Chains A and B, each alone.
Chain A
Amino acid sequence: MTGKTGKIISGLVLLAALLLLPHLLQYHHQDLLIFLTINVLVVASYRIVTLTGEWSLIHAVMMGVGGYTATLAFKQFELGMWFTLPLAGIVAAAIAALLCFPLFRMTQFYFLIGSFAAGEAIRLCWIQFVNPFGGTGGLSGVEPPLIGNIDFLEPVPYYYLTLVVVGMCLFILHRIEKSRIGLILHSVHWNSPLAESVGVDTWRYRALAFIIGSFFVGVAGGLKVHYLGTITPNQFGVGFMVFILIWVIVGGYNRFYGPVIGVVVLTLFDESIRSLEELRPAIYGAVLIASILFLPQGLESIPTRIRRLFSRKPENDSSPSNK
């Protein structure tokens, strides 16, 4: 079997599994599956921001920007989901574009703190401006779309809808990463003075990555609010941002699918320790520390490690992600 047919077959198996999955689950778990699918988009879009080497703390808030945009577009202008979703992405991207000017004067640690501050400022706006954002209580009454007589309030149809949207977004993100633009984002990360010396406008590429990431997380926010029906500022606080970071770090950020593995595995893990309610933060902390100590390349490096155990020829672990 050649590599290509192998890839096609495993792709088809994965697709079949994804399509069958909701029918094997209980109602509560179907709910969870939808949020998991949305979170896959959240971490995959975060990855493109981290490609340039910048770890922002505003990603969760950008998801909220998308969510609020979709909510207001739905409630005030009675737009359907086909308009609110792209709009959610566009508004998040536009706000990201504005934030580029102050934020990308900073790098590394300062950028991290700066992005956190900018995010909190946006979140405070949602709390302070009760009209139109609804204050701490947020907004409610957002509905999923109607297509013919399919009721998207039910988890299974909405799951399929989410799957299609997230699948399309992942495809685009993957295309970007494998393109010339992806290569340049890597080069900005690994040696920005050298990139600059051959004519790469590093500021523009950092901004571009940030804007693309914000667009797709905005779409994710729209998807979430249309299913949940309500939105509050606290959904997008530091807590959720920390989860995004843990998913990405535990999954590994050297390859495209690393963060996706991270969010899937940790969500399953989270379900399995549901009974230990008050111990969960401690367990998460332990998982993060353990993964940094023992699996610094993340879960995605496990296959490589196993292969190396069995083969004589050492493989290079730090190979770049655009392979």
Chain B
Amino acid sequence: MTILKIDRVTKQFGGLTALDQVSFAVEAGEIRGLIGPNGAGKSTMFKNIAGFYAPTSGDILYQGQSICGQKPHSIAELGIVRTFQETTLFQELTVFENVLVGCHKRARSNLFNAIFRLDRERQQMAADKVIEVLEFMGLSDRREQLASELPLGSQRALAISVALASEPSLLLMDEPFAGMNPEETNHMMDLTRKVRESGITIVLVEHDMKAVMGLCNYLTVLNFGKLLAEGTPDEIRNNDRVIEAYLGGAK
């Protein structure tokens, strides 16, 4: 089943065409890698899907329904949640509180309920969900620590926890392995597989080729805003056009 369909999406910034008629489709349950040299338009594509940008033309379909031009928070509510390139967390809040914010879909409160504390049950359910997510991501023993005090690997795991708490069906991960040492990368790869096994489709943008090749079952390659190639990691590894794009091969 196709969960996400990108249909001839073009994004222009003034005279610059960042994405040019890009089309691809993501199947439910896969880990899809979106790769390409710097400036290929990978992050722009992410921002278009998550609603931070609106495409200049073309359409984005999520479970058969167009999500083009919707606000990021409505898209998140539909089930597409992104993580950010840098470690993006609520640094001043504890680990627990960070994930609690993520439970927004489940725990949303209105003013009346907040003042008279009428939705305790709902808030308790949210807290239970937080504990479950922290357990899943192996962060249980850090729940009272401030996010800013965590080591890099745990911060990334926390960022994914925040996203998972909002119960996505499609998770967009923007460079989850950037700046990690091999050990942290391996741990993060295991976590990513675990997330997929829990039934969440993953699309990730990543430069670490070893991680991408080991993790993804299908790759989409962009170059200068255009779709360059698609295929399994093995096919991509041996694709002449991809090698040329990356190594700037001789003519």
Contacts and interface: CB of A to CB of B under 8 A. Distances in A.
A262 B93 CA distance: 24
A320 B115 contact: no
B52 to A, nearest CB: 7
A4 B148 CA distance: 30
A168 to B, nearest CB: 11
Interface string B68-91: 000111001100011110001111
B146 interface: yes
B237 interface: no
Q: Size band of the A side of the interface?
A: 20 to 34
A179 interface: yes
Contacts of B102: 198
B114 A201 contact: no
A199 B162 contact: no
Contacts of A184: 101, 104
B105 interface: yes
A208 interface: yes
B93 A176 contact: no
B89 A191 contact: yes
B93 A208 contact: no
Interface of A: prevailing SS: helix
B117 A187 contact: no
A199 B73 contact: yes
Given A187-B93, A194-B88, A316-B146, A199 B111 contact: no
A224 B226 CA distance: 65
Interface in B87-142: 88-94, 97, 100-102, 104-105, 107-109, 111, 113-115, 117, 119, 123, 126
Given A172-B115, A201-B73, A316-B146, A194 B109 contact: no
B245 to A, nearest CB: 30
A196 B93 contact: no
A198 B93 contact: no
B163 interface: yes
A286 B159 CA distance: 43
- Please classify how large the interface on chain B is, using the bins under 10, 10 to 19, 20 to 34, 35 or more: 35 or more
Given A198-B101, A198-B104, A198-B166, A176 B73 contact: no
B82 A197 contact: yes
Contacts of B91: 190-191
A180 interface: yes
A181 B105 CA distance: 13
Residue from B76, B100, B105 having most chain A Cβ neighbours under 10 A? B76
Interface string B41-66: 00000000010100000000000000
Nearest to A191: B90
A172 B112 CA distance: 10
A201 B71 contact: yes
B201 to A, nearest CB: 17
Contacts of B117: 175, 179
Nearest to A181: B114
Interface string A212-238: 100000000000000000000000000
A2 interface: no
Contacts of A196: 71-73, 76
A132 interface: no
Interface of A: 172, 175-176, 179-184, 186-187, 190-191, 193-202, 208, 212, 316, 318-320, 322
Given A180-B126, A186-B93, A199-B104, 6 more contacts: A179-B109, A179-B113, A180-B114, A181-B114, A196-B71, A199-B166
8 contacts: A179-B117, A180-B107, A196-B71, A196-B72, A197-B81, A198-B105, A201-B73, A322-B97
